[in-house]
């Protein structure tokens, strides 16, 4: 693992790191914020999965989570959203290829050799963070925005015990029924829609549930509401009687101004569960 940069932030350290990924068969960059409490010993860990077109850097610099994480004594991990490099397949569209890994393990060419973001987050980067940083085993939570909200919910519900707390900002909630989903799932996983079900938050909530409670914030003025389909997830949460807080926030759009506005609530949501 190579250190790219480390900067003091709210008494802790915001670092950026690079490593060779076996899952994605390329170099991957990620960021970790360690709060000041980590100087004395291991701390709980919150994973933030970013959305379409983002790298590790967007949320690291725009979401404003470091102050809240320092206050509550939890680390924050900011992974990239896809493999990178000259030899990695890409597409001219912003919503496929680099920056659009969709947190799945691609099985179709030309994506299959590199686009293994599901395994990368679930196992490879998790193991690396656990071994190289002072974070507590079994005290990991996950959140994310848009495509990252989709990734957070599907990874948590699909892997019981991997995360102890869960939230999302404006997740792509029902990708099997949305143009933000059907296009990418077809490209990465093929045309057999039965293989898509484990990557749809709405379907997973209905079949798996979640015991720890889920916090979801959605901007009511989000310009992508028709693609995100928040009503599908809200209905699934209600029908499955899953403990949850689902908030439509008046006037907020899909930007990082929205994420930053409710970042404190989400950090507190996770810290309450990870430090109990």
Chain segment 90-135, per-residue pLDDT in tens: 999 999 999 999 999 999 999 999 999 999 999 999 999 999 999 9
Q: In angstroms, what CA-CA distances link 101 with 13, 176, 202?
A: 28, 16, 19
pLDDT, tens only, 192-205: 999 999 999 999 99
Low-confidence ranges of the chain (pLDDT < 50): none
- Cβ–Cβ under 8 Å, residues 149 and 157: no
To the question of pTM greater than 0.85 for the whole model, the response is yes
For residues 260 and 265, give the distance between their C-alpha atoms in angstroms, rounded to a whole number: 10
Domains of the chain with CATH codes:
2-274 (3.40.50.1820)
Query: 243-261, pLDDT tens digit by residue?
Result: 999 999 999 999 999 999 9
Map tokens 């360690």 to a residue: 34
Q: Which residues are catalytic?
A: 146, 222, 254
CA–CA distance, 45 with 218 (Å, rounded to integer): 24
């Amino acid at each position: 693992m190579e250190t790219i940069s480390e900067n003091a932030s709210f008494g802790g350290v915001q670092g950026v790191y690079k490593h060779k990924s076996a899952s994605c068969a390329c170099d991957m960059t990620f960021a970790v914020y360690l709060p000041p409490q980590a100087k004395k010993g291991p701390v709980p860990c919150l994973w933030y999965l970013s959305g379409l077109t983002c790298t590790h850097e967007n949320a690291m610099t725009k979401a404003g989570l470091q102050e809240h994480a320092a206050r509550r004594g939890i680390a924050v991990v900011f992974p990239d959203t896809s493999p990178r490099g000259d030899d990695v397949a890409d597409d001219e569209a912003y919503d496929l290829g680099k920056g659009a890994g969709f947190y799945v393990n691609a099985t179709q060419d030309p994506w299959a050799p590199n686009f293994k973001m599901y395994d990368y987050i679930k196992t490879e980067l998790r193991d690396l963070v656990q071994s190289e940083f002072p974070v507590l085993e079994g005290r990991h939570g996950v959140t994310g925005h848009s495509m990252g909200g989709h990734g957070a919910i599907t990874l948590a519900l699909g892997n019981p015990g991997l995360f102890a707390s869960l939230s999302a900002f404006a997740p792509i909630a029902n990708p099997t029924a949305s143009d933000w989903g059907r296009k990418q799932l077809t490209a990465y996983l093929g045309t057999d829609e039965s293989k898509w079900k484990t990557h749809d938050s709405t379907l997973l909530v209905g079949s798996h549930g979640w015991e720890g409670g889920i916090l979801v914030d959605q901007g009511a003025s989000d310009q992508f509401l028709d693609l995100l389909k928040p009503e599908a997830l809200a209905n699934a949460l209600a029908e499955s009687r899953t403990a949850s807080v689902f908030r439509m926030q008046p006037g907020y759009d899909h930007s990082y101004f929205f994420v930053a506005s409710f970042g404190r609530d989400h950090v507190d949501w996770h810290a309450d569960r990870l430090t109990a």
